[in-house]
A and B are shown apart, each in its own frame.
Chain A
Amino acid sequence: MFCPHCGKEITEGQLFCRHCGGRITETVPNAGGREKTPWEDRETHGFLGGIFKTVKESLFAPSAFFRKMPVTGGLADPLLYALIVGMVSTMVSYVWQILFQGTMQSYIPAEMRAAPGYDMFQGLGIAVLAVVVPIFIILWLFIWSGIVHLCLMMVKGAKAGFEATFRAVAYSNSAYLFMVIPICGSLITAVWSMVLIIIGLKEAHETSGGKAAFAELFPLALCCGLIAAVVALGILAASLGTMSRISH
């Protein structure tokens, strides 16, 4: 291993660098001060109690929840939690979709209804969703955690390893329960899950809010932000062009 201060090689287990005297701290942030989430402590809270308390704490007191959340202990528990919450949300939102389909269709413009891929998922039954959705949830959790962790590493914010990022992303899936709210549930979910991931990364890695926000928002901004920048430049160029024509 290498000294984090001078970069020179040191032997494992050393407390101080023999070259520069710097302290070697390769510890997980605040590992001792953390405790199991109610979901992981099912022996005490029970299965449903564990889910309910974890949902409540992660949704409505996220800073305290993620500050206490352990950053080690395996991926299985957070993965299972994200799966349960994700499945419940998807199934309930599917029911809303069926109930409101007729009403919603009348508000959607005919051109949009005629667009290719518009009715791609409407033919899928609940049984197919039950099989496909868990696979997508697992894939999405690993893909998004990987991307977010890479972005966090780019800004030197990943202090507690990949597992901390995975846990923050998995427990942030609690926000998907807002999908049970008809019509605007998806929008609330999108916004609140981003907020939860940023808080989760900040507390789990004990890094700054700016670095956590960068890790979560940069992959989105890479596309959407660029669009906004180009549109803004286009508007600016058009305005300048109009102004110059007026002055002539």
Chain B
Amino acid sequence: MREIQVREITAAVERLCQEANYFLGEDIIGALQKGLQEEISPLGKDVFRQLLENAQLAREERMPLCQDTGTVVLFIDLGQDVRLVGGDFNRAINEGVRRGYLGGFLRNSIVDDPLGGRVNTGDNTPAIVHLRLVPGEKVKLVLAPKGGGSENMSAVRMLAPAQGAAGLTDFVVETVCHAGANPCPPVVVGVGLGGNFEEVALLAKRALLRPLGRPHPQHFYADLEKEMLEKINRSGIGPQGFGGRFTALAVHLETAPCHIASLPAAVNMNCHAARHAQVEL
């Protein structure tokens, strides 16, 4: 049994909040450079130029890439041989968020009561935490700040198994096209397939954590990802919806076993940034 002090969790969360908001992944920078070269629309090309310049500025000046520094979504893989000591685990996580946002000049975007006062909590807490128990004695934290504009364009649909791959593709393309310019295209599209009502949404969110350009390990699903990306990019929506070839940078699909009666599907929309940062303790 390995003991980990919860204050180590606080420190890690604080750092990850800032890293994820200041530093754009190299995989995404590569995709933006490709877009800059290949986009045929002049307005679209200029969007790529601006996003690349924005990433450089954010990195150099430690400014958030986007003013919407998001809801903190934290994926934790907790080794079952770890014993957390020195305080309340959930409190330690939220203390890390508080320090990360206040100390890092990140925007507080959480309100306390959805229909009540909608009063800002003032420190961007609470985080949304997804905890998995895994073998071993390590703790892996993946922190993904999620912006509201793209989250609002996301959708879950309970398809019939008979609708199959074609039904899934229609749903995904329709969701992205309906979103238009709202989620700040070029987007990264997280797709969940299988599981049940709540699990499929989580699969779609986890799909956003995959490095850009890495296809699904199964050929069938990798081909489906490619087909959906091509269809989305034939829509003409383009960067920021100004018209163009690059509406999405990637479609990532994650799957899970499901009920004989069901084919749950979910689309979690993300802007180009697909922000996340991780650490293993």
Partners in one complex: no
Binding site for A on B (CB under 8 A): none
Binding site for B on A (CB under 8 A): none
